[in-house]
Chain A
């Protein structure tokens, strides 16, 4: 075997130089290396985006502070939103998909490995292009400037008349380039899931996460091209005298919102469905039970995929679309809560009657459910159109979607990091530090985002760099700001945990959590070819079957 011959040579081989390591990683088309690079790069951007948020919170700690000037503040929230959505959420989630999908479906790599590498580097260059604007771009007054039009970049604020300089062009091009990366990844996911499954793995025997990733990939392919198209139209408006979004001529400012949110709402599900997938893998393992209602879970995922394409205008209830459209999109938004609710009930039923062990991944998965329920319910409040007229664009909305994207997606990501880190590195993370991370993040998160609901109800709008002292908003903003250092401590402990584990972590073995899906049947870390022999499966839990040959799952499917 090649493996044997390779492992016999190191005795004579000198250790790799730094540049050899860089070369080996940067030229790799291995889905595992690419997946880890996706997650690593996403985490670096997570720190950057988090710092941007910390600066904003510093400025808003008290009324009428003058720590950060309005131009900088507007750049901060634009870059924070853009970074977190395009350079943190998507790459980390797609990175996990990249790493795990071939292992989960029993394949040796993705369907198109080189396309995979191409997509990764597009994401990296897109992200760097966006951040290069801090150096290379000119904003409103000819000074170096990052984009400052908001991550949603509403027309006509993006028009040359109002956004002079070229910071908005950096925003367009950076996101456009990384968007192409996401599209190639989505094609790869679909190809891998549909064509590369190992013998015996029917669609209904896939790990549930593969289903979620399949729906995510389909949504990426539907949503991202709409954004890309709209961005090209905006580029034509700005640089070549077109008038798509120019209300001075026959263009329409509202058209941009339709196109943007037609991308933007499926995007929310692109960011949450993979986290649903992580939780659906973690909960059964630590409850020692099979996932409750697998077929209904699949049905709920697919229907979320479809319904999410018909709810975009709930971001536009205050645009004045008229009673008919408002009612329709309100009803559609209520409707999407049904399959989402089904998932939550199924998760709780999975835990019900199980033997729970609260290792760190399970803590995050449970925290995910508890927090996501809150985000979902405030979502129902916002779907109530007249209530949205009051709450839209207020801090209530900021609180709501951070409960979904932080309490949901980020908790899911941390759960996944703790769960699959041993697989990817062969080392266990420290449970003690992991629990510190969870509780600090949980407390910091609640301190930061719960008071935002109150300041929103008290009438505080979003995206303001300062606020009046006499409106009763100060105490809530202060608590919000005080939550930031607590979260930072949690993240710092996590980073220390990673470093410590890589240096001197306990060896993980193939299957440290005693889980049941295929990725745990190979070594940790898996060899470049994943499996010495392509496995054959007879149910959704092949490792359960091999542990209990007398009572395999296939009997119950």
Chain B
């Protein structure tokens, strides 16, 4: 079909030239008339005229495109710039901000809902980059659509008016236009590089910010361990739920016990990988108290999907109280000695530490388990029945996890759970 169409076009072209169309072989419709010696000259003249014509038209459009791009981008940039004072304002409010951080619903882990200085700065840069990209997008797609509309129309016109089916003008290129769309992108790229480097310098700190609290975060297959230094200098170890004081910079030191993980709480900061034998560090600073959700962002094996993170930002006084409570030894409740004995009689203590009872390091520290909201790395609410099911067979709740089912009798499990539930 295509062949016939084109053939007609060409036959027609040879039969009847179009006068007002500068065509590359205008001169050739009567090839015998033109002396061979002059043919080359005449066709090259035609070519230069033709190129000029098309070039000037394309140049006009290129200029139009640049202006168009400039307009869209400046709208975007001003929006992004408007973002900055706003974010500084909310930063001065800091802890006093009454807004409550949602723990469920759309946007709960959105990178656009920033509650921490580094996340906000990333968001501002993001708006700027998106504005520039949107400008480029609109310009390029507009030109593409224009080219399509014009091209289809030209083809339709050529089809309809039998006799003008010649090949269109052949344009081999245009130096000014090609220089323009090489140089302009260079300039855009230069600007992007500069703002990017500035933001990297602001966020990617090599040492802790002034007054920062250091929290050592250790990634395990498939849970998180957090270590704090208590007021008395002792080390406080907890798991999966990270408590921080709001309004104070936190220096999160990242280490891995096994494979590569990645620490990501979108509202607080971008992610950073947790790599064995390499200590990375990340800076976060929650503006307002609340629970910030996140999860491991680097594929780390079977249960990567359930390596969730919960960051509890609290008023400083509340945080201090929490830390003091965590530093205290495990609760000794005389009514649950049976459970404690069961815990130590089986291999639970090989993996789990309970201060004063066991020292296992492979699994989460359980000294104050009952003070947490979740088990299974944030994937299951901590309730009595969930804990019973978890100990009976963790694989039913988190398939493939590293904790085995010890095949305990239900009564033994019940007594262990009785004991664990006292560990406030």
- Asked if B181 and A458 make an inter-chain contact with CB atoms under 8 angstroms apart, the answer reads no
Give Cα distance in the complex from A320 to B106, angstroms: 30
Cβ proximity bits B232-244 to A, threshold 8 Å, 1 near / 0 not: 0000000000000
Stretch at the interface among A120-128, A165-173, A229-237, A333-341: A333-341
Give Cα distance in the complex from A479 to B250, angstroms: 38
Cβ contact of A548, chosen from B28, B147, B155, B297, cutoff 8 A: B28
Stretch at the interface among B166-174, B343-351, B360-368, B408-416: B166-174
- Asked if A384 and B192 make an inter-chain contact with CB atoms under 8 angstroms apart, the answer reads yes
- Asked if B104 and A466 make an inter-chain contact with CB atoms under 8 angstroms apart, the answer reads no
Cβ contact of B144, chosen from A157, A295, A323, A369, cutoff 8 A: A369
Give Cα distance in the complex from A359 to B4, angstroms: 13
Interface residues of A in 354-396 (CB under 8 A from B): 354-359, 366, 369-370, 373-374, 377-378, 380-381, 383-394
If the complex has contacts A290-B171, A295-B173, A354-B151, are A470 and B200 also in contact, measured as CB distance less than 8 A?
Answer: no
B50, chain A: closest CB distance, angstroms: 10
Interface size class on chain A is 35 or more
Which residues of B are found within 8 Å of A162, using beta-carbon distances?
221, 258-259, 301
Centre residue among A71, A385, A467 by max chain B CB count within 10 A: A385
If the complex has contacts A70-B400, A348-B144, are A513 and B2 also in contact, measured as CB distance less than 8 A?
Answer: yes
Give Cα distance in the complex from A335 to B187, angstroms: 10
Say if the beta carbon of B322 comes within 8 Å of chain A.
no
Measured CB to CB, the nearest residue on chain B to A508 is: B3
Cβ proximity bits A146-188 to B, threshold 8 Å, 1 near / 0 not: 0010100010110001100000000000000000000000000
A398, chain B: closest CB distance, angstroms: 12
Give Cα distance in the complex from A378 to B132, angstroms: 11
Centre residue among A148, A378, A394, A461 by max chain B CB count within 10 A: A461
Say if the beta carbon of B311 comes within 8 Å of chain A.
no
Stretch at the interface among B90-98, B210-218, B263-271, B330-338: B263-271
Stretch at the interface among A41-49, A82-90, A105-113, A324-332: A324-332
Give Cα distance in the complex from A393 to B296, angstroms: 10
If the complex has contacts A156-B258, A355-B154, are A327 and B196 also in contact, measured as CB distance less than 8 A?
Answer: yes
Interface residues of B in 146-194 (CB under 8 A from A): 147-148, 150-152, 154-155, 158, 167-174, 177-178, 181-182, 185-186, 189, 192-193
Give Cα distance in the complex from A140 to B40, angstroms: 74
Measured CB to CB, the nearest residue on chain B to A336 is: B189
- Asked if A555 and B40 make an inter-chain contact with CB atoms under 8 angstroms apart, the answer reads yes
Interface residues of B in 335-382 (CB under 8 A from A): 379
Give Cα distance in the complex from A358 to B193, angstroms: 39
If the complex has contacts A330-B197, A464-B305, are A154 and B298 also in contact, measured as CB distance less than 8 A?
Answer: yes
Cβ contact of A386, chosen from B3, B31, B108, B200, cutoff 8 A: B200
- Asked if B192 and A380 make an inter-chain contact with CB atoms under 8 angstroms apart, the answer reads yes
- Asked if B303 and A70 make an inter-chain contact with CB atoms under 8 angstroms apart, the answer reads yes
- Asked if B150 and A353 make an inter-chain contact with CB atoms under 8 angstroms apart, the answer reads yes
Cβ contact of A550, chosen from B39, B298, B308, cutoff 8 A: B39
If the complex has contacts A154-B260, A462-B299, A555-B40, are A514 and B3 also in contact, measured as CB distance less than 8 A?
Answer: yes
Give Cα distance in the complex from A381 to B76, angstroms: 14
Interface residues of B in 270-311 (CB under 8 A from A): 270-273, 275-278, 280-281, 293-306, 308
A549, chain B: closest CB distance, angstroms: 9
- Asked if A551 and B189 make an inter-chain contact with CB atoms under 8 angstroms apart, the answer reads no
B207, chain A: closest CB distance, angstroms: 12
Which residues of B are found within 8 Å of A323, using beta-carbon distances?
200-201, 204, 206
Stretch at the interface among A5-13, A189-197, A214-222, A247-255: A247-255
Which residues of B are found within 8 Å of A514, using beta-carbon distances?
2-3, 6-7
Cβ contact of A390, chosen from B44, B126, B277, cutoff 8 A: B126
If the complex has contacts A290-B170, A348-B147, are A373 and B189 also in contact, measured as CB distance less than 8 A?
Answer: no
- Asked if B203 and A386 make an inter-chain contact with CB atoms under 8 angstroms apart, the answer reads yes
Give Cα distance in the complex from A453 to B302, angstroms: 25
- Asked if A472 and B108 make an inter-chain contact with CB atoms under 8 angstroms apart, the answer reads yes
Say if the beta carbon of A74 comes within 8 Å of chain B.
yes
- Asked if A551 and B43 make an inter-chain contact with CB atoms under 8 angstroms apart, the answer reads yes
- Asked if B126 and A459 make an inter-chain contact with CB atoms under 8 angstroms apart, the answer reads no
Give Cα distance in the complex from A464 to B304, angstroms: 6
- Asked if B110 and A457 make an inter-chain contact with CB atoms under 8 angstroms apart, the answer reads yes
Measured CB to CB, the nearest residue on chain A to B258 is: A162
Cβ contact of A353, chosen from B110, B168, B185, B258, cutoff 8 A: B168
Stretch at the interface among B78-86, B135-143, B384-392: B135-143
Say if the beta carbon of B35 comes within 8 Å of chain A.
no
If the complex has contacts A162-B301, A337-B189, are A381 and B104 also in contact, measured as CB distance less than 8 A?
Answer: no
- Asked if B122 and A354 make an inter-chain contact with CB atoms under 8 angstroms apart, the answer reads no
Cβ contact of A330, chosen from B174, B193, B264, cutoff 8 A: B193
A379, chain B: closest CB distance, angstroms: 9
Say if the beta carbon of B326 comes within 8 Å of chain A.
no
Say if the beta carbon of A482 comes within 8 Å of chain B.
no
- Asked if A320 and B272 make an inter-chain contact with CB atoms under 8 angstroms apart, the answer reads yes
Say if the beta carbon of A225 comes within 8 Å of chain B.
no
If the complex has contacts A337-B185, A352-B150, A514-B3, are A385 and B400 also in contact, measured as CB distance less than 8 A?
Answer: no
Say if the beta carbon of B133 comes within 8 Å of chain A.
yes
Say if the beta carbon of A292 comes within 8 Å of chain B.
yes
- Asked if A157 and B109 make an inter-chain contact with CB atoms under 8 angstroms apart, the answer reads no
Say if the beta carbon of A556 comes within 8 Å of chain B.
yes
Cβ proximity bits B38-74 to A, threshold 8 Å, 1 near / 0 not: 0110011001000000100010000000000000000
Which residues of A are found within 8 Å of B27, using beta-carbon distances?
550-551
- Asked if B129 and A334 make an inter-chain contact with CB atoms under 8 angstroms apart, the answer reads no
If the complex has contacts A156-B258, A354-B154, A389-B269, are A467 and B305 also in contact, measured as CB distance less than 8 A?
Answer: yes
If the complex has contacts A354-B168, A458-B109, A459-B110, are A390 and B259 also in contact, measured as CB distance less than 8 A?
Answer: no
Say if the beta carbon of B419 comes within 8 Å of chain A.
no
B109, chain A: closest CB distance, angstroms: 3
Say if the beta carbon of A271 comes within 8 Å of chain B.
no
Give Cα distance in the complex from A93 to B114, angstroms: 43
Cβ contact of B44, chosen from A385, A512, A555, cutoff 8 A: A555
- Asked if A550 and B31 make an inter-chain contact with CB atoms under 8 angstroms apart, the answer reads yes
Enumerate 26 A-B pairs (CB-CB under 8 Å) in ascending A order. A70-B302, A154-B298, A253-B277, A289-B168, A292-B171, A319-B275, A323-B201, A323-B204, A327-B196, A348-B143, A348-B147, A351-B151, A352-B143, A355-B155, A370-B144, A380-B132, A381-B126, A389-B122, A390-B266, A393-B271, A457-B110, A548-B28, A550-B25, A550-B39, A551-B24, A551-B25
Told that A288-B168, A338-B189, A393-B299 touch, could you supply 11 new A-B pairs with CB distance under 8 A? Answer: A156-B259, A157-B299, A318-B270, A320-B280, A342-B185, A358-B152, A370-B141, A387-B126, A465-B304, A551-B24, A556-B170
